[in-house]
Structure 1
Amino acid sequence: MPEWWDKLLAGEEFTQPICTEDDNGNPWIRLRNIITAPYDFDAAFFNIPPGEALLMDPQQRIFLECCYNALEHAGYIPTQLKRVGVYGATYANNYFIDRVYPYLKMSGDHHYLQAQIGNEKDYLCAQVAYKLGFTGPAVSVQTACSSSLVAAYLACEGLLTFQADVALAGGVTLGFLQAHGYSPQGDKLVSQDGHCAPFSAEATGTVYSSGAGVVVLKRLEDALRDQDRVYAVIKGGAVNNDGGRRLGFVAPSVEGQVEAINTALAAAEVVPTDIALIETHGTGTPLGDEIELEALHRGFRTGMCAAQHSIGCGKSQLGSPGSRFRYRQLNENRTDAIYWFSSPADQPSK
């Protein structure tokens, strides 16, 4: 987090794209928004046999490390805690297809059960609970782009219903060929130049990246009682679905986002004028950005509550692993510019 934070303050871009060509002369964009040394893992520290560690999806290993490090950063000895809930999400597992499955075929499938446990998304959080001895809920979340935030929402629900006294929430994304890059041709979702420019007229698409992050959550009264360092307070939240109102399966709907905004504001017992900064999804796609701006326009500028708000988007510097750095921004009382923003895209008509 310190290195991440320093780069954000310096306005440095994490993706660092390099535009080149593939073997056939077609455009190819190489990226450097990667997890450094993603396969390094101290299996002995977690009492995991070497053979078992080799069969584990690196995303499971990284998430386990993040959970342990997050609790240490919060001032706790992870192995001395019990009523801890784990809520997390992971990306598609290419490691099993490219590395583990061929090994199983050669070895006669003798380790199939262990490989399944170490690679199925279902076991991401259960593995952490098992390795660290946590007895709270262990819930693996899969809601696509919203997975990490939904994990945090469910973690709050678990705390408020006293299913756990401490909760871990986060996610991990590791592309197996993370430093390989991508072709900008034939995909309207991805950036054509390797840069993500949310809400800008020059935006051409999103950039996918690798990353991982976990936050430690407690009930506020417990955190204050225990003299924990509180970075931010989650006052409320909401989860819904667009149903059939979207233009297509991968396109959101304005109505669904407005409903989520209104429900979250009501749950937090705040009004739009109480909000100073909005961290956006900000994919950098013309359709997605337009829909999101319209939803924010309707949700936050209604009636007498036509207040001015600042918006931010971590994807402009990070790509799209999911964002948790706004907690730190709130703690530092900062509002930073959106990287690669030059001129605004078309604004909502209302």
Structure 2
Amino acid sequence: TLEGFFQSNKQEAVADGKSYSKWGGFIEGFAEFDPLFFNIAPREALSMDPQERLFIEACWEAMEDAGYTREQLAVRHNSRVGVFAGITKTGFDLYGLDLWRKGAQIFPHTSFSSVANRISYLFNLQGPSMPVDTMCSSSLTAIHEACEHLYRGECELAMAGGVNLYLHPLSYVGLCANQMLSIDGQCKSFGKGGNGFVPGEGVGVVLLKPLSKAIADGDPIHALIRGTSINHGGKTNGYTVPNPTAQGELIRSALERAGVHARTISYIEAHGTGTELGDPIEVTGLTQAFRKDTAD
């Protein structure tokens, strides 16, 4: 940790280039990794961003859950397996300069492309392999891209997901400079008194393939993706200000593409940053999209 990075007074913290937040949902043991299991040299593993190492482990676990081995992927899917990794955070590389000055033979680096490409290399997967950074929607966009590539026949199976770690205090300082973080460590999504979000870490990967092939192959099926859509809000009142009309049109597009009636939806995972600006806009977008199907 960076000594003295925290300042409890919000105004003073912003003025002094410090963080007024010290809370988060953190992954315990995030740096634990068995490099030899994945045939990676220990010295090389030390320089790899922990996000990359976590994503490797998550992909392996997804393969185990699906009942696949690397050999089966090569035989049953001709290695035409895509990898789509949502990742948006840097920070690990910021430790490099001090280590280099101290003479350490460790060179921390963050490479978004390596997060996806390392999986393709380790498992000998020859489908599309790409990172996706669309900020908060990175992992969802990675799944969308995976679905699109499957539709077009550019891969027979896809690993898709995301990883997010806050590895350096400057990530907090930067978010606080934009006054995005909660001042009390609580994210009050769609609630009274919302003053920002609380950073959270996580990693997750799913294996995707067309339903007919999954049934034919006897795969365990956890869920069905009926449709995905993406867009951008365009120019609004500010760079971080969402567009309720664009959000409504996007949700509507996804519903129509999937052939789903809004009234049948029982669960929504929202952005919900717990801010007075963003949350009402998100509700407005959802309302506009749902209103075409129901007045409830």
Are 2:120 and 1:129 aligned? yes
Match of 1:169 in 2: 160
TM-score, reference length from structure 2: 0.85
Q: Is the 8 A contact 1:223 1:230 kept in 2?
A: yes
Change (3 A) 1:151 1:105: same
Are 2:28 and 1:40 aligned? no
Match of 1:199 in 2: 190
Displacement of 1:213 after TM fit? 0.9
Match of 2:16 in 1: none
Secondary structure at 2:277 match in 1: helix
TM-score, reference length from structure 1: 0.72
2:180 to 185, 189, 196: 189
Secondary structure at 1:257 match in 2: helix
Secondary structure at 1:277 match in 2: coil
Change (3 A) 1:104 1:290: same
2:249 and 2:156 mapped to 1: Cα distance? Answer: 30
Give structure 2 stretches of 5+ with no counterpart: 11-19, 74-78
1:225 and 1:121 mapped to 2: Cα distance? Answer: 35
Match of 2:92 in 1: 95
Match of 1:256 in 2: 246
1:188 and 1:94 mapped to 2: Cα distance? Answer: 19
Are 2:293 and 1:296 aligned? no
Are 2:270 and 1:273 aligned? no
Which string of whole-angstrom CA distances, capped at 9 and with x for unpartnered residues, describes residues 183-225 of structure 1?
Answer: 9976532112111121111322111111111111111111111
Residue-pair matches, total:
278
Q: Is the 8 A contact 1:159 1:167 kept in 2?
A: yes
What letter matches 2:25 in structure 1?
Answer: N
Secondary structure at 2:225 match in 1: coil
Q: Which segment drifts farther, 193-202 or 290-299?
A: 193-202
Displacement of 1:43 after TM fit? 0.5
1:224 to 215, 220, 223: 215
Secondary structure at 1:202 match in 2: coil
Which string of whole-angstrom CA distances, capped at 9 and with x for unpartnered residues, describes residues 293-320 of structure 1?
Answer: 0111111012xx2254xxxxxxxxxxxx
2:284 and 2:195 mapped to 1: Cα distance? Answer: 19
Match of 2:80 in 1: 83
Q: Is the 8 A contact 1:31 1:181 kept in 2?
A: no
1:188 and 1:24 mapped to 2: Cα distance? Answer: 13
Which string of whole-angstrom CA distances, capped at 9 and with x for unpartnered residues, describes residues 230-288 of structure 1?
Answer: 111111111111111x2211111011101211211121122323323222111111111
1:223 and 1:62 mapped to 2: Cα distance? Answer: 26
Match of 1:287 in 2: 277
Kindly, what percent of the aligned residue pairs are identical? Answer: 36
